[in-house]
Amino acid sequence: MRKLTLITGIALCAVALQTGMNVSALGTAEDTTGKVELKKDTTTNVVVPPSTGGGNTGGGTVSPSKLEFAEVPTEILFNKKITSADQIAPLVTFTAVRGKDAQGNVTTGNQRVGVYDGRLLVDGINWKVSAKATEFKTANGNAKLTGAKIKLKDVKLTSQDTSAALSFKTASKDFVISTNNTSADFFGTKDSTSQAKQFSYAEWDPEKVELEVAGNQLVEGTFSSTISWNLSDTAIN
Protein backbone atom coordinates (compact mmCIF):
# COMPACT_ATOMS: atom_id res chain seq x y z
CA MET A 1 0.00 0.00 0.00
CA ARG A 2 2.81 2.43 0.74
CA LYS A 3 4.53 1.66 -2.52
CA LEU A 4 1.37 2.46 -4.43
CA THR A 5 0.99 5.69 -2.58
CA LEU A 6 4.53 6.80 -3.34
CA ILE A 7 4.21 6.20 -7.08
CA THR A 8 0.99 8.22 -7.21
CA GLY A 9 2.70 11.16 -5.48
CA ILE A 10 5.51 11.21 -8.04
CA ALA A 11 3.02 11.32 -10.92
CA LEU A 12 1.24 14.32 -9.45
CA CYS A 13 4.49 16.21 -9.10
CA ALA A 14 5.29 15.60 -12.76
CA VAL A 15 1.93 17.00 -13.87
CA ALA A 16 2.37 20.12 -11.77
CA LEU A 17 5.85 20.68 -13.18
CA GLN A 18 4.63 20.34 -16.78
CA THR A 19 1.78 22.81 -16.22
CA GLY A 20 4.11 25.37 -14.79
CA MET A 21 6.39 25.13 -17.83
CA ASN A 22 3.50 25.91 -20.21
CA VAL A 23 2.51 29.08 -18.38
CA SER A 24 6.01 30.50 -18.20
CA ALA A 25 6.59 29.88 -21.94
CA LEU A 26 3.98 32.59 -22.89
CA GLY A 27 6.07 35.37 -21.45
CA THR A 28 4.72 38.64 -20.02
CA ALA A 29 3.51 40.41 -23.24
CA GLU A 30 1.69 38.82 -26.18
CA ASP A 31 -0.49 40.17 -29.03
CA THR A 32 -3.92 39.28 -30.44
CA THR A 33 -4.79 40.46 -33.96
CA GLY A 34 -8.16 42.11 -34.67
CA LYS A 35 -9.54 42.39 -38.22
CA VAL A 36 -12.43 44.33 -39.78
CA GLU A 37 -13.58 43.66 -43.33
CA LEU A 38 -15.70 46.43 -44.93
CA LYS A 39 -17.30 45.99 -48.35
CA LYS A 40 -19.53 48.32 -50.32
CA ASP A 41 -23.19 47.23 -50.21
CA THR A 42 -24.43 46.92 -53.78
CA THR A 43 -27.37 44.58 -53.25
CA THR A 44 -29.56 45.81 -50.35
CA ASN A 45 -31.97 48.24 -52.02
CA VAL A 46 -33.03 51.31 -50.02
CA VAL A 47 -36.73 52.11 -49.59
CA VAL A 48 -37.68 55.58 -50.83
CA PRO A 49 -39.50 57.64 -48.15
CA PRO A 50 -43.23 58.16 -48.77
CA SER A 51 -44.07 60.91 -51.22
CA THR A 52 -45.43 64.24 -49.99
CA GLY A 53 -48.29 63.84 -52.47
CA GLY A 54 -48.80 66.54 -55.05
CA GLY A 55 -48.74 64.01 -57.88
CA ASN A 56 -45.18 62.73 -57.44
CA THR A 57 -43.57 59.46 -58.51
CA GLY A 58 -42.23 58.64 -55.00
CA GLY A 59 -42.13 55.12 -53.59
CA GLY A 60 -40.26 51.97 -54.52
CA THR A 61 -36.55 51.51 -53.92
CA VAL A 62 -33.19 52.87 -55.04
CA SER A 63 -29.80 51.19 -55.38
CA PRO A 64 -27.75 51.40 -52.15
CA SER A 65 -24.49 52.68 -53.63
CA LYS A 66 -25.63 54.81 -56.57
CA LEU A 67 -26.62 58.38 -57.39
CA GLU A 68 -30.14 58.53 -58.80
CA PHE A 69 -33.54 60.24 -58.70
CA ALA A 70 -35.88 59.23 -55.88
CA GLU A 71 -38.93 61.06 -57.23
CA VAL A 72 -40.14 63.78 -59.59
CA PRO A 73 -43.57 65.33 -60.24
CA THR A 74 -45.75 63.43 -62.68
CA GLU A 75 -47.67 66.49 -63.92
CA ILE A 76 -47.90 70.27 -63.67
CA LEU A 77 -51.38 71.35 -64.74
CA PHE A 78 -52.64 74.76 -65.87
CA ASN A 79 -56.26 75.63 -66.66
CA LYS A 80 -57.38 79.08 -67.79
CA LYS A 81 -60.25 80.74 -69.60
CA ILE A 82 -58.81 83.25 -72.03
CA THR A 83 -60.36 86.51 -73.20
CA SER A 84 -59.60 89.04 -75.92
CA ALA A 85 -58.03 91.19 -73.20
CA ASP A 86 -55.54 88.40 -72.52
CA GLN A 87 -54.68 88.19 -76.22
CA ILE A 88 -53.63 91.84 -76.42
CA ALA A 89 -51.65 91.77 -73.14
CA PRO A 90 -47.83 91.75 -73.43
CA LEU A 91 -47.59 88.91 -70.91
CA VAL A 92 -50.21 86.68 -69.26
CA THR A 93 -49.48 84.64 -66.12
CA PHE A 94 -51.37 81.42 -65.34
CA THR A 95 -51.30 79.75 -61.91
CA ALA A 96 -51.15 75.95 -61.76
CA VAL A 97 -53.94 73.85 -60.24
CA ARG A 98 -53.81 70.50 -58.50
CA GLY A 99 -54.23 67.40 -60.61
CA LYS A 100 -55.93 64.13 -59.71
CA ASP A 101 -54.51 60.79 -58.65
CA ALA A 102 -55.28 57.38 -60.20
CA GLN A 103 -58.47 57.17 -58.11
CA GLY A 104 -59.74 60.52 -59.36
CA ASN A 105 -59.05 62.38 -56.11
CA VAL A 106 -57.47 65.82 -56.11
CA THR A 107 -53.86 65.52 -55.01
CA THR A 108 -52.63 67.01 -51.73
CA GLY A 109 -49.20 68.01 -50.43
CA ASN A 110 -46.23 69.56 -52.17
CA GLN A 111 -44.44 68.60 -55.34
CA ARG A 112 -40.74 67.86 -55.20
CA VAL A 113 -37.68 66.54 -56.96
CA GLY A 114 -35.86 63.98 -54.82
CA VAL A 115 -32.26 62.79 -55.20
CA TYR A 116 -30.63 59.80 -53.51
CA ASP A 117 -26.85 59.72 -53.17
CA GLY A 118 -25.74 56.37 -51.77
CA ARG A 119 -22.19 56.55 -53.07
CA LEU A 120 -19.34 56.13 -50.62
CA LEU A 121 -17.42 59.37 -50.07
CA VAL A 122 -14.44 58.07 -52.03
CA ASP A 123 -16.72 57.42 -55.03
CA GLY A 124 -18.03 60.99 -55.23
CA ILE A 125 -19.78 63.70 -53.24
CA ASN A 126 -20.99 66.23 -55.86
CA TRP A 127 -24.20 66.27 -57.85
CA LYS A 128 -26.65 68.67 -59.46
CA VAL A 129 -30.11 68.63 -61.03
CA SER A 130 -30.91 70.43 -64.26
CA ALA A 131 -34.10 70.64 -66.31
CA LYS A 132 -35.28 71.47 -69.79
CA ALA A 133 -38.74 71.60 -71.36
CA THR A 134 -40.09 71.22 -74.85
CA GLU A 135 -42.35 73.84 -76.42
CA PHE A 136 -46.04 73.75 -75.48
CA LYS A 137 -48.01 72.62 -78.51
CA THR A 138 -51.23 70.88 -79.45
CA ALA A 139 -51.30 67.17 -80.33
CA ASN A 140 -51.28 67.93 -84.07
CA GLY A 141 -48.60 70.59 -83.64
CA ASN A 142 -50.67 73.27 -85.39
CA ALA A 143 -50.69 75.64 -82.40
CA LYS A 144 -47.85 76.50 -80.04
CA LEU A 145 -47.24 78.68 -77.00
CA THR A 146 -43.90 79.98 -78.23
CA GLY A 147 -41.73 81.57 -75.58
CA ALA A 148 -43.70 80.25 -72.60
CA LYS A 149 -41.87 79.91 -69.26
CA ILE A 150 -42.63 77.69 -66.27
CA LYS A 151 -41.75 79.20 -62.88
CA LEU A 152 -41.47 77.12 -59.69
CA LYS A 153 -41.99 79.57 -56.82
CA ASP A 154 -40.37 79.69 -53.36
CA VAL A 155 -38.60 76.32 -53.62
CA LYS A 156 -37.25 74.85 -50.36
CA LEU A 157 -34.17 72.58 -50.10
CA THR A 158 -33.86 69.82 -47.48
CA SER A 159 -31.61 66.80 -46.89
CA GLN A 160 -31.31 63.80 -44.57
CA ASP A 161 -27.56 64.51 -44.44
CA THR A 162 -26.88 66.79 -41.45
CA SER A 163 -23.59 67.78 -43.12
CA ALA A 164 -25.27 68.66 -46.41
CA ALA A 165 -24.53 71.92 -48.21
CA LEU A 166 -27.19 72.42 -50.90
CA SER A 167 -27.63 75.45 -53.11
CA PHE A 168 -29.64 76.85 -56.00
CA LYS A 169 -27.81 77.91 -59.15
CA THR A 170 -28.85 81.51 -58.52
CA ALA A 171 -29.65 83.48 -55.35
CA SER A 172 -33.37 83.26 -56.13
CA LYS A 173 -35.58 80.52 -54.69
CA ASP A 174 -37.68 80.64 -57.87
CA PHE A 175 -36.67 78.33 -60.70
CA VAL A 176 -37.54 79.27 -64.28
CA ILE A 177 -37.73 76.65 -67.04
CA SER A 178 -37.87 78.03 -70.57
CA THR A 179 -39.86 75.86 -72.95
CA ASN A 180 -37.28 75.98 -75.72
CA ASN A 181 -35.51 72.70 -74.85
CA THR A 182 -32.58 74.58 -73.28
CA SER A 183 -31.19 73.05 -70.10
CA ALA A 184 -30.97 75.12 -66.89
CA ASP A 185 -29.29 74.13 -63.62
CA PHE A 186 -31.72 73.85 -60.69
CA PHE A 187 -30.04 72.80 -57.42
CA GLY A 188 -27.30 70.55 -56.07
CA THR A 189 -24.27 70.40 -53.82
CA LYS A 190 -22.95 73.91 -53.23
CA ASP A 191 -19.38 73.48 -54.48
CA SER A 192 -16.68 70.88 -55.13
CA THR A 193 -16.10 70.27 -51.40
CA SER A 194 -19.78 69.92 -50.46
CA GLN A 195 -21.90 66.82 -50.10
CA ALA A 196 -25.55 65.80 -49.63
CA LYS A 197 -25.79 62.08 -48.97
CA GLN A 198 -28.91 59.93 -48.65
CA PHE A 199 -32.19 61.67 -49.66
CA SER A 200 -32.31 65.38 -50.58
CA TYR A 201 -35.25 67.37 -51.95
CA ALA A 202 -36.28 70.55 -53.74
CA GLU A 203 -39.92 71.10 -52.75
CA TRP A 204 -42.63 73.59 -53.72
CA ASP A 205 -46.37 74.27 -53.50
CA PRO A 206 -47.93 73.13 -56.81
CA GLU A 207 -50.57 75.87 -56.59
CA LYS A 208 -47.85 78.54 -56.71
CA VAL A 209 -46.31 77.36 -59.98
CA GLU A 210 -46.75 79.92 -62.75
CA LEU A 211 -46.79 79.84 -66.55
CA GLU A 212 -45.88 83.02 -68.38
CA VAL A 213 -47.06 83.40 -71.99
CA ALA A 214 -47.15 86.30 -74.41
CA GLY A 215 -50.77 87.31 -74.96
CA ASN A 216 -50.54 87.10 -78.73
CA GLN A 217 -49.72 83.36 -78.44
CA LEU A 218 -53.02 82.49 -76.72
CA VAL A 219 -55.54 80.44 -78.68
CA GLU A 220 -58.00 77.76 -77.58
CA GLY A 221 -56.63 74.24 -77.31
CA THR A 222 -54.89 71.68 -75.13
CA PHE A 223 -51.14 72.19 -75.10
CA SER A 224 -48.49 69.81 -73.78
CA SER A 225 -44.83 70.14 -72.87
CA THR A 226 -42.38 67.63 -71.43
CA ILE A 227 -39.98 68.60 -68.64
CA SER A 228 -36.85 66.44 -68.62
CA TRP A 229 -34.89 66.26 -65.36
CA ASN A 230 -31.20 65.39 -65.47
CA LEU A 231 -28.89 64.34 -62.61
CA SER A 232 -25.11 64.63 -63.01
CA ASP A 233 -22.12 64.18 -60.70
CA THR A 234 -20.84 67.75 -60.59
CA ALA A 235 -21.51 70.57 -58.12
CA ILE A 236 -24.06 73.30 -58.88
CA ASN A 237 -21.41 76.05 -58.66
Q: What is the pLDDT of residue 24?
A: 52
Q: What is the pLDDT of residue 52?
A: 82
Contact 176, 184 (CB under 8 A): yes
Q: How far is CA 100 from CA 104, 111, 149, in A?
A: 5, 13, 23
CA distance 234 to 165: 14
Q: What is the pLDDT of residue 149?
A: 98
Long-range contacts of 163-167 (CB under 8 A, 24+ apart): 163/195, 163/197, 164/189, 164/194, 164/195, 164/196, 164/197, 164/200, 165/189, 165/190, 165/191, 165/194, 165/195, 165/196, 166/190, 166/194, 166/196, 166/200, 167/191, 167/194, 167/236, 167/237
What are the strands, taking DSSP E only, across 51-155?
61-62, 67-71, 77-78, 92-97, 111-117, 128-133, 149-152
pTM: predicted TM-score of the whole model, two decimal places: 0.84
Host H or E run for residue 6: helix 2-25
Mean pLDDT of each 10-residue bin along the chain, 237 residues long: 34 43 68 95 93 83 96 94 96 94 89 97 97 98 97 98 96 96 98 98 97 97 98 97
Which amino acid appears at position 108 of this protein? T
CA distance 167 to 10: 85
Q: What is the pLDDT of residue 7?
A: 34
